[in-house]
Chain A
Amino acid sequence: MADLDPEVILSHEYVPKHEILKDKDVEKLLEQYKIESKMQLPKILSSDPVVKAIKAKKGDVLKITRKSMTAGEAVYYRVVI
């Protein structure tokens, strides 16, 4: 199946905001959570439609801002594998 238009994917209501984190911010994140390697972060497949839509590469860390029932808005990080 051909990939969907990135516009279509990213504008969908159920797709939360995905951003590629800058290297500097990745370092900060690892420091904040006292993590040694990026592989200790939750993962996301490089074949994920959103990953392709925002053109993230393997090893990139995505910042995902979701709606949350408990906290209103929740931030989540995933590393592309």
Chain B
Amino acid sequence: MAGVEKKIGGIEFGLMSPEMIRKLSQVRVVTPDTYDEDGYPIEGGLMDLHMGVIDPGLRCKTCGGNIATCPGHFGHIELVRPVIHVAYVKMIYMLLKVTCSKCGRLLIPPEELEEYKKIITGEKELDEDTALEIIERAKKVHTCPHCNAKQEEITLVKPTTFYEGGKRLFPTEIRRRLERIPDEDLRLLGINPEKARPEWAILTVLPVPPVQTRPSITLETGERSEDDLTHKLVDILRINQRLRDNIAAGAPQLIIEDLWDLLQYHVTTYFNNEVSGIPPARHRSGRPLKTLAQRLKGKEGRFRYNLSGKRVNFSARTVISPDPYLDINEVGVPQDVAKILTVPEKVTEWNIDKMKEFITNKEYPRAVYVIRPDGRRKMVTENNREAILEELAPGYTVERQLMDGDIVMFNRQPSLHRISMIGHIAKVLPGKTFRLHPNVCKPYNADFDGDEMNLHVPQTEESQAEVLHLMLVQKQIISPRYGGPIIYQDQDYITGAYLMTHKDTAFPKYITTKILAKAGIYKLPKPDKKVNGKPMWSGKLIFSQALPKKLNLEYPSRICVGKDNCEYFKKNGTCRGCPLDAWVRIENGELKEGVIDKISLQGILLDTIFREYGSEGAADFLNKTGKMFLEALMHKGFTASLDDTDIPEEAKKKVKEVLDKATEEVNKLIEKYRAGELERMPGKTVEDTLEDMIMAILGKARDDAGKIAAQYVNPDNQYLVMTRAGSRGNMLNFTQMSATVGQQAVRGKRILRGYKSKTLPHFKEGDIGVQARGFVYSSFRDGMSPIEYFFHAMGGREGLVDKGIRTAKSGYMQRRLINALQDFVVQPDLSVRDATGTIVQFKYGEDGADPMKCHGDDAVALRRMLLIEQKEYEELPEDESEEEGVLEEGSEGGDYE
């Protein structure tokens, strides 16, 4: 990087002097009124034409501009008596304390002062610590070392009233004292007297912002409604006038002081209406006024609302709903939305006929605007349609309505990672919702219980190309975080795959053709099975039609028990021909054996296809197989019903036995503990030891109960099928439904809260038995007893509370991380640098590997590459080398010298 061209060296803040305020002002405001009866701005009023114009037809008296051209100009109010600026109360208080009330010098003995001055006059800059040290030093002095005047204690009654030894200090006196402080003493306190003389913090003249800053709104009734700031300025002017009149009339001191305080109140709330200690100024309706500080502060303030975040055009938002018949790259856009969003298209000699057609069309898809080469924009209307058609030539731009195939961005908040915004291809559909392919829900974390999402239409060819080539759904299949698939098939898709590719699944011709047709495959393979003399097609054969032609892959499926536990492997020394169908073997794009389940669809198979056949291959695979799986599932039929949680009487008895035995065991353990015979485990108290042992016994009892239940049900039990295939649920879910819910816990311990030494009134004090501490014997199917139900609710509540706290915490942590890391970039030389070009890391991640392109934990999938190399070599016809680009994706990333 060649270095930054312009750098901000520093920003200087200072105070404005009264002279400066008057100089900037175009008019002195004296009248607390805005408009006269005719609605014309009053001269010398708050809407004076010297301060700019907001009414059409009028001209600014300062610059002569109209609404569009006049930038606005400041005015000023001469305050009869000075008032304190709230934002500088702290500084004023400090200065009054550290300087002499008579001579204005810093309350530090001359000798010490000389010492401190050396620091400043030398090359060393005054830092915050030294300034604070000086302040602390001066606060300790009670007699001025320069003029021997005794110093009274200064107190501050918030927000703006000062007392000296019990006597009120008025702003006039404060201002006089601040004026007396010499420049060099101020420098020692960290105040630059050229930019901020302290007496300037006591206002004698108040700037009035331009009318553009506080525009009045005209209601439909013709009534004018003024801005909050204008209201506040009216208040200030009124009190200022009353104060002036009273002083001129020689009113008693007390009345003048009251009015003075009132003026102070209005000026204070004009700056900040949330100052503690005084009631906020309110509108007639009771709503607190939004004054200067409130305009800037907080989430809805100028910074966070208008500067860090902006609203955009060419966007739409509505509810989402699923559509599995879409291509995964597509998003369904309602007609109503498509009619409003537009896409600019340049007219060339090749597309001019098409463009003319858009202009001719009176209905969708039509052209909305035409932009001439000189940048003039014209709306296409009934009247000028013919003229525009006549005029249209290459170089013009036509803004037409959104159509099928347009490139759009789709987004769901909270946008926590880059895949919260993905590129899609628009498909205009009837209805009022955005349609999303269910497989693409994962990266958005979307569901269809009422979620809304945003759509954006890129307006330039460059941005469209970027979205298409970098952001498109298929490019995001592999997560950049861990290099594995993040867009994949789940739930019904896996169940469907499992049932379809099951060993003895075969379909007759009419179903086979239907499944293939859904996937867009119109070539029927030769049948590979025969049942009752009729040709049949196995699910594996149908699935193979969607696999890339040259794919070779072998791996164990989810149901594989592992080589160490496998009788078949021990006997034959190979996994091929597995009797459980747990060995997946794909040869030349044909599924020879093995059942397709979660491991294939969310892991190795999808991953391999993406790496070797690119994002297009992977998208093709997801599209074709997805449609097959759903079709197959619908033909097979799949329902998990209440009956599937039923277990026979015999099994129930056995479950009860197991639980009773465990209860017995626990009771024995408790007895042993009571007798003091329980042996302590290292690092634990006896009580903790007992708890741990009880938890272990009860946990095991539940698992055993689950195993019994699973043994007694039909192996085709729908819940077990889902668990096996990996589509939804696990053994624990099944156990809790049909056998026993098991131990409930709060904070990882058995339930032990409630009453003194017991959890519920139904137990004896000190009962630490199985039931008394929240074990649920019943299953969900049988239903819980009231006591069990109560314990279960306690455990469930913890989960909810935890979830809420976790998301709030991690959200804030992430925000801080993003703020800290946002402009770090990996440079072409693989170094990581910040916006100024300073190096943060010499090689990204120290190895320069892109996790998205890594193969699991390895930067390069060497084994796989060698295998493919060998296969291709074997297949190579003599003297005809064929370069396949399939290695590209997997081999990039690692950069080893």
Contacts and interface: CB of A to CB of B under 8 A. Distances in A.
Interface in B815-855: 829, 831, 836-840, 842-843, 845-847, 849
A40 B847 contact: no
Contacts of A47: none
B472 to A, nearest CB: 29
A42 B847 contact: no
A70 B858 CA distance: 10
A45 interface: no
Contacts of A77: 839, 842
Interface of A, helix, strand, loop or mixed by DSSP: loop
Contacts of A75: 842
A70 B847 contact: yes
Nearest to A42: B839
B1 interface: yes
A74 B3 CA distance: 26
Given A33-B829, A33-B831, A34-B1, A40 B838 contact: yes
A54 interface: no
Q: How large is the interface on B (under 10, 10 to 19, 20 to 34, 35 or more residues)?
A: 10 to 19
A33 B843 contact: no
Nearest to A69: B846
Contacts of A76: 842
Contact of A74 (B1, B840, B843): B843
Contact of A70 (B1, B829, B842, B849): B849
Contact of B839 (A33, A70, A74): A33
Contacts of B847: 68, 70-71, 74
A35 interface: yes
Interface in B139-188: none
A41 B843 contact: no
A36 interface: yes
Contacts of B836: 40
A5 B845 CA distance: 33
A36 B838 contact: no
A33 B842 contact: yes
Interface in B836-882: 836-840, 842-843, 845-847, 849
Interface in A25-75: 33-36, 39-42, 68-71, 74-75
Interface string B1-28: 1010000000000000000000000000
A40 B837 CA distance: 7
Name the residue in A33, A36, A75 with the highest tally of chain B Cβ atoms < 10 Å from its Cβ: A33
Contacts of B843: 71, 74
Given A70-B847, A71-B845, 7 more contacts: A33-B829, A34-B1, A35-B837, A42-B839, A42-B840, A71-B847, A76-B842
Interface of B: 1, 3, 829, 831, 836-840, 842-843, 845-847, 849
17 contacts: A33-B829, A33-B831, A36-B3, A39-B838, A40-B837, A40-B839, A41-B838, A41-B839, A42-B838, A68-B846, A68-B847, A70-B845, A74-B843, A74-B846, A74-B847, A76-B842, A77-B842
Closest 6 CB pairs of A and B: A71-B847, A74-B846, A70-B847, A71-B846, A68-B846, A40-B838
